[in-house]
Amino acid sequence: MALPRSGVQPAPDSGDLLLVAAGDDAALTRLVARWRQPVYALFERTREPSAAAEATILTFERLVMTAPRYRPESAFSGFLWGLVARIVQDPRPGRVLEIPAPKLAESASARTALVRSAIAALPGGERGAFLLTRVARLSVGAAAEALGVSDTELRRRLVRALENLRVFLRPLLEASGSPPAPAEPDAADRGAPGPGGAPAAAS
Partner 1 sequence: MTCDELRERIVDPASAAQGGHAPVVAHLEECAACRSAARDYAALDRLIRPGTPSEPPPDLETRLRQRLTARPGSARRSAWVLAGAVAALAIAAFAARLLRGRSAPSTAAGAIPAASVSTGSAGTRPDAREAPPPDIVAVRSTPISFETTPLTQQEKSEAAVLHDFDFLNSFPTLARLDAFFPEPVGPRAPVSTPSGGFASRPPDSPDALAGRFLDWQRAPRKERERLLDLERAFRNRPEDERALLEDRWTFVRDFSEDQRAGLRRLASRLDDLDARSYERLEAEIRLIGRLPKEARVARWRSLAFAKPLTGQELASAERLLLQP
Site for partner 1 in 72-131 (CB under 8 A): 72-73, 75-77, 90-92, 94-95, 108, 112, 115, 119
Site for partner 1 in 166-195 (CB under 8 A): 166, 169, 172-173, 176-186, 189-190, 192-195
- The torsion angles phi and psi of 23, rounded to 5 degrees, stand at 95, 20
**Burial environment of residue 119 by CB neighbours within 10 A (0 to 12, 13 to 18, 19 or more):** buried
Residue 155 neighbours by CB under 8 Å, 6+ apart = 140
Binding footprint of partner 1, residue count (CB under 8 A): 118
Considering only 61, 101, 105, 107, the residue that binds partner 1 (CB under 8 A) is 61
Site track for partner 1 across 13-32, x = CB under 8 A: xxxx-xx-xxxxxxx-xxxx
Closest contact distance (angstroms) between CB of 160 and partner 1 is 10
Site for partner 1 in 31-50 (CB under 8 A): 31-38, 40-41, 44-45, 47, 49-50
Site for partner 1 in 130-169 (CB under 8 A): 133-142, 151-152, 155-156, 158-159, 162-163, 165-166, 169
Return the sign of the alpha-carbon dihedral for residues 183, 185, 191, 192: positive
Report the Cα–Cα distance between both ends of the chain, in Å, rounded.
34
Q: What is the dihedral of CA 60, 61, 67, 73, to 10 degrees?
A: -30
Closest contact distance (angstroms) between CB of 126 and partner 1 is 12
Distance CA 63, CA 92 (A): 23
